[in-house]
Structure 1
Amino acid sequence: MAFDAVVTDLDGTVVRADGTVSAATLQAAHALSAAGVPLLAATARTPTGVAALTTLAPHLAFAVCCSGAVGWVPGAPEPAWCELLPRAEVADLVAFLTRELPTVALAAYDSRRWRMTATYQAMRPNTHKGPITVVEAAALPEAEACTLVLGHPDRTPEQLVAALIEGGFDPTRLGLHRAGRRFVEVTAAPIDKASGVLRALRVVGADPARTIAFGDMPIDTTMFAVVGRSVAMAGAPPEVLAAATDHTASVEDDGFARALTALL
């Protein structure tokens, strides 16, 4: 085949709006496996969230989770890596957000459990897999978190990132990633999907220049920049379409499977 590996975002790219993966996508994943081409996921999901995709997970050679902060071989009992946020940074961030944006929704993940505020649970119900503990925001810095997720009922992710930068949270110290259409994911800098994908490709022995990546959101553009070819899904924001070398149909129209069929 023309590629050493294929990397894909999950939600909005191969996972449809109803949470399912189409037969065409699964067939494409099976074809890659049969050809000896590793399929990797690069996602904001946790390992438990990836494992919940019971039809797709068995086809994955590796999963870059939490936007690069966690690496996981599906089926393994422990992560391959887990990059923690500095606890002092988490404490400063939580204090700033609760002071300046009192209705902010916050959640922290430590590679095993989510700790989240009641506001976050109400804003994003039933989308996180695995153990969940509802706590006050002030308790979040107690966790050794690899990722912190925040949202606000009245602010876009772009507005939240702007507020953090204006508040003195330097993007060179913290990775600030738009995760979906309503949330921002915070990791330790310089961790992002690009750093995670490069690390995962080394694990599976694949050349980034001979790797193709699929995505649909601005958070995916960093990994587009470090692989040889990239594919944006139809309906992606303009900056995602501009960053990709190729375009395909939407997830609902089996764009992943169509692109692989055309390219390979």
Structure 2
Amino acid sequence: MGGLRDVRAVVTDLDGTIIRADGTASEATVAACQALRAAGIPLVAATARTPAGIRALGGLAPLISIAVCCTGAIGYDPAADRYLWQERMPRETLAGLLDRLSAQLPEAEVAVYDGRAWFMTAAYRAVRGADHFGPRAVVERRWLPRVDACVAAVCHPDLGPPALIAALSAVGATPVAASFGQAGHRVVEVAPAGIDKASGVRRALAALDVPPECAVAFGDMPIDLPMFAAVGLGVAMADAHPEVLTAAGDSTGSVDEDGFAAWLRRERVIGAEA
């Protein structure tokens, strides 16, 4: 178990880690989460999803003790349907990001989330190719700086997230736009300064009174790397990004192989029957 002997909390990314490409969790995954609940081990979800995206998980959502949403900017209690915290991006930060994109990367498209709804350009919706969960509105780009944003999402018709992050850094957007992270295969998420999955996970574990060194985290994308550094052990899915596989202290099967449940059984965090 990579030196981690006392698992007192389980932290996991969602999409690509315990949620399959069709948006569902397998029976084995749900059973593993139920077994964690029965054992009194809290489950923390750390995700780019909003609270609406957590609610979309159906029966899995109430098994999550705390959802670290929007890559750390929002803490959400699914059982009580209440927000635990919300971080905001200063309007001047968002305005600076939008100005640099307009001047240097005009084909990049942006959506912003204010904690309740997404606001996006029509071009963003077309480039992303899929809608966000929950309320959303299509607006003209000039209206976006007026939103009190928790996070922003950036996509580009030709650049994938790693190339887009490099381009954003090259045009000087990084100091203005705070934290960047690859969220999925099309989108770069922009969070307030100092906010990432690590900050959110630490906050959630403190609320649960669990020492970080007694938590194990599962993930598959580079946006999960800060989270790995914030817990006792990081576990990569078999098909994870190469950087994640390198950084992880252990690995398990892919989401389609029920790797999450298999690891928890193998390490006896839950019973073999789960």
Q: TM-score, normalised by structure 2?
A: 0.93
2:34 aligned residue (30, 35, 39): 30
Judging changes above 3 Å, is the alpha-carbon distance between structure 1 residues 116 and 173 closer, same or farther for their aligned structure 2 residues? Answer: closer
Q: How does 1:57-96 map to 2 (within 5 A)?
A: 57-96=61-100
Amino acid in the other structure paired with 1:145: A
Aligned equivalent of 1:128? 132
Q: Which amino acid aligns with 2:90?
A: P
Q: Secondary structure at the match of 1:122?
A: helix
SS at match of 2:58: coil
Instruction: Write the letter of the residue equivalent to 1:141.
Output: P
1:57 counterpart SS class: helix
Specify which of 186, 189, 192 is matched with residue 185 of structure 1: 189
Structure 1 window deviating more from structure 2 (167-176 vs 90-99): it is 167-176
Aligned partners of 1:54, 1:120: CA distance in 2, in Å? 27
**What is the CA deviation profile of residues 1-55 of structure 1, one whole-angstrom value per residue up to 9, with x for unaligned ones?**
8311000000000000111100000000000000000001000000110111002
* Residue 14 (structure 1) aligned with residue 46 (structure 2): no
Task: Note the C-alpha offset of 1:215.
Answer: 0.3
Partners of 1:231 and 1:82 in 2: CA distance: 28
Partner of residue 54, structure 1: 58
Q: Structure 2 CA distance, aligned partners of 1:236 and 1:215? A: 7
Question: Which residue identity does 1:99 align to in structure 2?
Answer: A
* Aligned residue in 2 for 1:156: 160
2 CA distance for matches of 1:228 and 1:20?
A: 28
Aligned partner of 2:161: which letter?
A: P
Relative to structure 1, the CA distance from residue 141 to residue 76 in structure 2 (aligned partners, 3 Å threshold; closer, same or farther) is: farther
- Post-superposition Cα deviations, 1:195-218, rounded to whole Å, max 9, x if no partner, equal 000000001111110100000000
Question: Which residue matches 1:112?
Answer: 116
In structure 1, which of residues 41, 47, 52 is the aligned counterpart of residue 45 of structure 2? 41
Deviation of 1:127 after TM superposition, in Å, equals 3.7
Residue 15 of structure 1 aligns to a residue whose secondary structure is coil
1:174 equivalent among 163, 172, 178: 178
> 2: distance between equivalents of 1:61 and 1:240?
25
> Which residue of 2 is the match for residue 137 of structure 1?
141
Structure 1 residue 126: Cα displacement: 4.3
Given that 1:83 and 1:146 are in contact with CA atoms closer than 8 Å, whether structure 2 keeps it comes out as yes
Deviation of 1:76 after TM superposition, in Å, equals 3.4
Between the aligned partners of 1:19 and 1:93, the Cα distance in structure 2 is 31
**Once superposed, what is the RMSD of the aligned Cα atoms?**
1.4
Identity fraction in percent:
52
Question: Which residue matches 2:247?
Answer: 243
Show the counterpart of 1:205: 209
Mapped contact 1:94–1:138 kept (Cα < 8 A): no
Quote the offset at 1:172 in angstroms. 8.5
C-alpha distance in 1 between matches for 2:55 and 2:177: 31
- Aligned-partner SS, 1:55: helix
Structure 2 alignment gaps of length 5 or more = 269-274
User: Helix, strand or coil: the match of 2:35?
Assistant: helix
Contact (CA 8 Å) 2:104, 2:171: kept in 1 or not?
Answer: no
- Would you identify which runs of 4 or more consecutive aligned residues in structure 1 move more than 4 Å? none
Structure 1 residue 77, shift from structure 2 partner: 4.3
The aligned amino acid for 1:154 is D
- Structure 1, unmatched stretches of 5+, are none
Alpha carbons 1:104, 1:119 under 8 Å: kept: no
- TM-score computed with the length of structure 1 as normaliser: 0.96
Contact preservation (8 Å) 2:125, 2:131: no
Of residues 38-47 and 157-166 in structure 1, the stretch that sits farther from structure 2 once superposed is 157-166
Which 10-residue stretch deviates more, 23-32 or 94-103?
94-103
Distance 1:177 1:237 in 2: 13
Which deviations, in whole Å up to 9, do the C-alpha atoms of 1:141-199 show, x marking residues without a partner?
A: 10000100000010121222122222223358600111111111001111000000000
